[in-house]
């Protein structure tokens, strides 16, 4: 169950209401997992600074997945997700930080059961 968490200093009213649904096809393509497996959340109005500038739009994101992450995969994912965030939220690439976490199945649970 891949999870994308985005934390941004944008106000909630600047985030399209369907943003989390519209990013799913991108995530599905680049992580190579079905859309229905993804969880995506956006937390707006966060206190955030990049190098002391807390006024310009910015975001920090984490992508967690069991597999399908690694050096070559992450380059593709970073490019696609950054482009989407820039286009949809107006957050330019140097104000968007994306980190990756390749999880082990026994460290993820849903419905009271671990995945592996």
Domain ranges of the chain: 3-114
Homologous superfamily of 3-114? Macrophage Migration Inhibitory Factor (3.30.429.10)
pTM, rounded to two decimals: 0.94
Instruction: Give the closest residue to 95 by CA, choosing from 53, 65, 67.
Output: 53
Catalytic choice (2, 11, 16, 25): 2
Q: Is 2 a catalytic residue?
A: yes
Tens digit of pLDDT per residue, the chain (116 long)? 899 999 999 999 999 999 999 999 999 999 999 999 999 999 999 999 999 988 899 999 999 999 999 999 999 999 999 999 999 999 999 999 999 999 999 999 999 999 98
Neighbouring C-beta atoms of residue 35, cutoff 10 Å? 14
């Amino acid at each position: 169950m891949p999870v994308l968490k985005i934390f941004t200093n944008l106000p909630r009213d600047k985030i399209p209401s369907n943003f989390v649904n519209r990013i799913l096809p991108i995530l599905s393509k680049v992580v190579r997992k079905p859309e229905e497996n993804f969880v995506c959340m956006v937390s707006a109005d966060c206190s955030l600074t990049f190098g002391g500038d807390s006024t310009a739009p910015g975001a920090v994101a984490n992508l967690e997945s069991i597999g399908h992450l690694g050096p070559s995969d992450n380059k593709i994912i970073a490019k696609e997700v950054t482009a989407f965030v820039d286009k949809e939220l107006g957050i330019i690439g140097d104000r968007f930080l994306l980190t990756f976490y390749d999880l082990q199945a026994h460290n993820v649970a849903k419905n009271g059961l671990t995945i592996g």
